[in-house]
Amino acid sequence: MSKDNLTQTLVKGLNVLECIASSNTYLSAMQVAERCNLSRSTAYRLLVTLEDMNYVIRVNESAFKIGPSVYLLGQKELDRDELPVIAKPYLIKLSEKIGETALLTTLIGSEVVSIARIESKKSLKIGSKVGSIYPLYCTAMGKAILAYLDKDRQNELISKIDFIRRTKNTITDKNEFIQHLDRVHSQGYAIDNRESDEDVKCMCAPVFNMKGVVIAAIGFSGVAFRVDNLDQHEIIHYVMQIANDLSKRIGYIPKITDKQNNYY
């Protein structure tokens, strides 16, 4: 392939990526072809290539959305490659204190993605890895971020959620979920009490940048029966303290009314 053809292919691929990223709905290959002025076969070939590199992922057999690899290209207020490094000692402290897997997640498109983790030292632990994707509506990490987004962005993301029941505890009603987010915002932390998996319990709190914008969630994911045996008040307190300390580390100055500040 000539240099000019390679350049044109790259341009087309980037246009496809931008098209999917800017859409409020998931797009099929045909829709991408129409919006990017491509043949359907070219659009599909580019989508498959981007999918292989995890820049897009399939929602179903025909629709695509932005994938977690996009975060590697992101440079917002804080470099996403830098945040996991900064957060590592906080994750270690959290995992050692609670005995479960500590994790740091961030919002990529309409999904929550793990960007750092410290595994539990126990033989029975929650299996996940950096790059794992979590639903917004039934995980502590998703709810901890979603509850603190501005209302327009929050409503936009909620409108895209397919409220599938994963366990008997999963919230599947949109209005009930919105009320639940209000409680998360009010209390300053989120809990996944067997909402995504019958055997898993998670707790997370939001992490804010220097502008007071939520950029991540930090917390832990553990085997439910073990977490139930811990002092719930103490571990919630500790998760919030870790989130507060990490936020301050990256420049956040809490307001006197902040729940993270008042909790203590």
Are the C-beta atoms of 72 and 79 separated by less than 8 Å?
Answer: no
Return the closest-CA partner of residue 98 out of 136, 70, 130, 126: 126
- Give the angle subtended at the CA of 118 by the CAs of 227 and 197, to the nearest 5°: 45
Return the closest-CA partner of residue 198 out of 230, 229, 223: 223
Backbone angles phi, psi at 83, to 5 degrees: -60, -45
Token digits for 243? Answer: 């989130």
**If pLDDT is split at 50, 70 and 90, which confidence band does 124 have?**
low
> Domain residue spans in the chain?
3-66, 82-262
E strand or H helix that includes residue 157: helix 151-159
CATH class, 3-66 region: mainly alpha
pLDDT for residue 261: 42
- Over the stretch 70-91, which tens digit does the pLDDT of each residue have? 655 554 444 445 889 899 999 9
- Over the stretch 189-242, which tens digit does the pLDDT of each residue have? 999 999 989 999 999 999 999 889 999 999 999 999 999 999 999 999 999 999
Question: Which has more confidence, 24 or 91?
Answer: 91
**Whether the predicted pLDDT of 2 surpasses 60:** no
Q: CATH for 82-262, among 3.40.50.12280, 3.10.270.10, 3.40.50.10860, 3.30.450.40?
A: 3.30.450.40
**Whether the predicted pLDDT of 68 surpasses 50:** yes
